[in-house]
Every structure is written in structure tokens, then in C-alpha cells.
Structure 1
């Protein structure tokens, strides 16, 4: 197969998974990865155990371990292809389409699984199982039989409000009729800062034990049109909102429940890039489970959104300097119904995820700083499904409020919030906004099924 290739390497390469006719570059890299592993497996019997596991496809084999890589040294043969070793070898011998460690779960009897954070890491590919996306339960939507209803517009039509021009960025609560985008980009509207918080670095698997992930609660941004403002618990701020809610049906009124299922869209998220309060370039639609948003000038493809080529005639020097430091940017994974953000840049990224904030009990507008080499779960479909199911009983507006959870904001290099001079995301030089299409479309179908009541369901209706 390859000249001067040791017999054990030939045998291991013979079990490689993947389509026939792989490229010469791919074959060369696979050989280098296997040779690198063979050199590391110096313990007596380790190579034999690896061959036994792969040839028999047996999980009840012993651990095959190599030293755990130091932070930022997760490479196979240096410059060739970055990746955690257990992921690389699971991809080589089991799942060619494997994207990241978040897709893997160790078997119970593995003593050196990557997640255990020991000095040695097991790379036995049959000591890991691939996590499948769990099925989301349908949302049962009751309908009040005696209530006049009208169907809401699709979530894509919620953007049709007239623009509201707020050039002063006053720090006040706004009625939702005013919480819309200024022409050219969203308007930042602060509503008061919250105390800084610190999160232990166990949030990110690759963070050393003595570091912390810095979390600061930001003042609230005015979301894009149609997205409910993130001023804390929306159900507790009725002084600025005239909410109409559904209440449980009294005796004598008929209720029907219809299941509304989740459907995975062709594009799991849409990403827009902003410089200050101006959107730049076209929206990127993500179809691949792993995508990178970086600052390079390569043409974008299905797995990369390159910001370096995007032009803006109004770009100032601060934005120019920031763009030079985006570098490798951020990698986004959509795996098993969860979304992860991994900072690949040499500078931190800053993330505002209402779903993540809900999970940890933080204020909805909290901004989390993700240092280089760290990652954070920023959305979970199962958690969102539970919130959606609970909100249905509270009425149309309670469900509509969840649209804010489907939008995630992320700035490069420069942070914002209570701990920073920049109080709003629209004050940061370079940032992106993710719209999670699956949850948004699910919300749209639930809202359509519910209908929009003109009056609350009650004994007086």
C-alpha cells in the first residue's frame, strides 16, 4: 500500500472506515496518524489490544492509552490536522463523519475516558459510543373552543414592523412596539446593569482546573424586529407590556389538544455579521453540523463563513484593528440537539445566550466570556422543548416570548456589558447573530396552532 510501511501500520490502515477511492492526501494523513499512534503505544500489549478491539469490533477490550495532550497541543503530527486523539481515531476506525468530542460518550467500563481528565487518555475506538440526537417530544397545544382566534404570521414575517429610530440609546424600558431595529442595524438600548458573575471553568472541558470563565451581565440590547426584549423575566415586567394570556379553560368550555412535532430544517442556523450597528454582507445559512466563522479572506463554503472578504465603506479604524485579531474565530457545533461554541481565536469571544443563561440561573442578558481554547454549550433542544411545553399553558404571548431564546449574539475580541466600557453589543466592533431555525420554526407552528386570542380565555369570553 505504502512503501516502507511497517506491517502493523498496514494492518491498522486496512481497517480504516470511509468511502472507497479517498484522496492521496487523505491516505497520506491517515498513514501519518497511525504511525504517530504506533510510536506512542510503547506499553507491552497495547498494540495487540488495539488490533483486537478493531478487528473484533468488541467494546469489552482493555483501554489503549496515550498521554493526555497539553492545552493547545491537541494535534496529530503537529501541522497536519488538529483534533483530540480519541476523536481522530474514532473517526479513522468507526465514524468517518465524526465532528467533535461532543458526539462521543465513553462506555461505562472505560477507565481512561477523555471525560475523566486523567493523565492518560484511552483511544480505543470501541470504548466510545456515538451520541444520537434524542427525539423531541411533541408539544400538545390546547385550543379554547369558544374563543375567537386568528392565526399569527410566520416568524419570518415578524420583521415587518416600521423601523424605530432611537439615536440616543436612552437607558429605559421600552414598550415592545418600540423594540425594533433601526434602519441599517439593531439599536442598543440599555436597561440597567447587573452584578458581575464568575463561572468555574468546568463549563469548558479543555479549561485547566485553576482558571475561570468570566461572566458579566450586560445591559439589554434591543433585539431584531419581532424578538422580545431580554429585560429579565418577561412575565415579571408587565408595567411596560400589556400582555394577553390564555388561562386554563373553565368548566363548560371545550378544549382540544393537537400535537406539534419538531422538524429538523435543511439549514440549522442563519448567521448575520455586524460591525457596530450595521449589518455587513449576506446572511450565512449553515447546513453542516460543524462550521467555522473566521476572519480570513478565503471564499466561504458550507463549512466556513469567512469575514475577511466582506467590505463596508463606513468601516472605521477600530473595526479594522478588531478584524485583524479575529483570526481563526469560532467553531460552532450542532450535535445531538445541542449547540456548542469553541473559541479558536487567540482572543476571547463573548456570548449572550438566553438558553444558556436559563440553564445556570443567570439574568437573561448575561454575557459569557469564552477564552481561547475553551468551549461552551450555548443551546439545548431538550431544555427548549421543556420550556415550550410549559409556556403553552400560559398562553400565546408566553410562547412568543421564547423567540428571544432562539437568538444568540457573539462578539469577537471586544466584550460588552456591565464590566466593559461598551454597554451594548452594537457598541462592539465585530459581532455575529445566530438565529436557530429549527426552534424558531417549531415556535411558529405552535403559535399557528394556538391562534392569537383577542381576549383571554375565561368564563367571561
Structure 2
């Protein structure tokens, strides 16, 4: 009871309207569950804004900066963990977003934040890395396929996605894997012993990411406690000579591809053709010419998203 009273006072101080006891109990349960929870809290826009400022993003100015996660079933949900904060590329260049590049550490092994958003894809072969000789013809009802990599070695087979939203997460028998459907990385048969940097990075993935096919594109929601780094032809400035790497902070989301406006085939100097329907996502570690990791194949744990060809 005391806790509910304290919560009511905090929300009121943040501009929230009066709440019924039942609504307050649901919000308390949702806050206890955190990012892993499924509890929806029906309510108003002022309550959502106050709750999100109080418990997630203190500097949030407008609800337009939020996007509801695909697993949320309540249209007027006020659970602050059921939303991601938009992380959109800015135009005109320089092509980085105010949220994506915030708080990049001056980084290990001499990594440089200024150039962290660029990559020359030096060792990436033409086309997609994830095919490994597998045919990409019979897509049936899949809208994408996932291939998980550790450094330059792919782990497991491609994972076909037919449902609208898919989770890619760590397992470890913990709460992060309970009740979730998708690609559990800890369930993959690695066959070979993991190197230390892979093992440490795998331990940080936790809730991982959610990939969702929505009416306005393919969205990535970062639900882990670490940033993820994304390279997608759909995010590049038109005049860019190299693909860009975007940092997506914990709790943020980004549209990584729009099937209605796919990027044209791209050829980079000294690299060759780049698959315009392939997106690469690295967990916790970025890459670029000034990093110790020059390209994505040097990242400990990363994912390639192969989007289905147009029908």
C-alpha cells in the first residue's frame, strides 16, 4: 500500500491524471516485470507520458517519439516498457541521429566515435554472406530469413520468419527466454568452443532485439541493456561512398528497411555489389575503419537479416 501511494505521488508530480486503484495495481505489476513483462495497462496519453518520463526516458518531450512494440495488445497501453523510443536518421547529412550516437564510449582498443558510423566492408564478399551456398529461391511465405554469426563463422542454419514479429534473444534458462518465440541463440548448437570475446558478448544479449514487419517498413526494437549496431542499405545517404553503421541505444527502435521503397542495387569501390536486401546487426559491439573491428565479420555476435525478394 505504501509503495502504491509513493508511486501515485511520483506520477502526479510528473503530470499524470488521477488513477483508479485497479489501474495503479496493473502499473505496479508492469513496472516489476520490466522489459520482459507482458502486462498491458490501459490508460490515457498523459499517464503514458508521465510514466515513461518517470521510469524510462526523463528527457522525453512528446509521445510522437515513441512507438508501441508489436507484442503489446492494448492500443492505449500505458506500460512504459511496451514502447521503444524512435531513433531516426537525420537529414541532411552528416548521417547520424541524435539518439543513435549519444553516449558512445571513447571505446576500447582505440575505437573512435567520430568514424564509428562508417564501414568500408573490406572483407565482405559480393552479395550476402549468410547464404553460404544455400539457395534463396523458394521463399514461400517467409518475409525474411535470419543467419546468426560469431565472428566469421555462421552458427546454425538459416531461420525462416513467417510471423509478423520475431524475437532474437539469449536464453541461458533465465527469464529472458520464457514465453518468447523466435530465435533463441543459446539453443543453437555451436559445436565449436566459444572464444572469450564471443562468450562475454553472448552473456550481454539478454532480451536482444525484436524485428517486426509493419505497414511502414521493417522495424528493429532494441530490448537489451546494450546498444546494437545496424548496417542497412536503406539507411544510407544517397551520396554515401560506403555503408553506414547506426548505433541503436537500449530501449530505442529504428526502421531498418521499407519494402515499399527498397534501395537500388549498390556497388562500392573495391568491394563490388552489395546486397540491397541484407541488413547486418551486431550485438554490443560496433565496427568501422577506426575501430579495432574493421567490418562486421570481426564482431563477436551478429545477425544477418535476409529480406525476401519482391514478389
Of 84, 89, 98, the residue aligned with 2:74 is: 89
After TM superposition, give the deviation of residue 314 of structure 1 in Å: 4.0
Query: Aligned equivalents of 1:369 and 1:276: distance in 2?
Result: 19
Query: Aligned equivalents of 2:278 and 2:164: distance in 1?
Result: 18
Give the structure 2 partner of residue 373 of structure 1: 251
Query: Aligned equivalents of 1:369 and 1:333: distance in 2?
Result: 18
After TM superposition, give the deviation of residue 283 of structure 1 in Å: 1.1
After TM superposition, give the deviation of residue 409 of structure 1 in Å: 0.7
Of 183, 188, 207, the residue aligned with 1:305 is: 183
How high is the TM-score relative to the length of structure 1? 0.41
Give the structure 2 partner of residue 417 of structure 1: 288
Unaligned stretches of 5+ residues in structure 2: 1-19, 28-43, 57-67, 87-93, 105-112, 130-138, 267-271
- Say if 1:71 and 1:373, in contact at 8 Å, map to a contact too: no
Which of the pair has the greater relative contact order for Cα pairs under 8 Å at 6+ separation? Answer: 2
Q: 1:303 to 1:427 in 2, by over 3 A?
A: same
Unaligned stretches of 5+ residues in structure 1: 1-32, 41-62, 75-82, 93-99, 103-113, 116-195, 204-209, 229-263, 392-400, 443-461
Query: Aligned equivalents of 1:291 and 1:71: distance in 2?
Result: 28
Q: 1:341 to 1:66 in 2, by over 3 A?
A: same
How high is the TM-score relative to the length of structure 2? 0.59
5 Å-filtered alignment, 1:10-409, equals 35-36=22-23, 65-68=46-49, 69-70=51-52, 73=55, 88-90=73-75, 198-201=96-99, 211=102, 216-223=117-124, 226-227=127-128, 266-297=141-172, 303-310=181-188, 311-358=190-237, 362-384=240-262, 387=264, 404-409=275-280
After TM superposition, give the deviation of residue 337 of structure 1 in Å: 4.8
How many residue pairs match? The answer is 224
Return 401-410 or 265-274, whichever deviates more.
Answer: 401-410
Q: 1:305 to 1:224 in 2, by over 3 A?
A: farther
Tell me, what secondary structure is at the counterpart of 1:415? coil
Query: Aligned equivalents of 2:224 and 2:26: distance in 1?
Result: 31
- Say if 1:341 and 1:376, in contact at 8 Å, map to a contact too: yes
After TM superposition, give the deviation of residue 345 of structure 1 in Å: 1.1
Q: 1:403 to 1:382 in 2, by over 3 A?
A: farther
After TM superposition, give the deviation of residue 368 of structure 1 in Å: 0.8
Q: Name the Cα RMSD after superposition.
A: 4.1
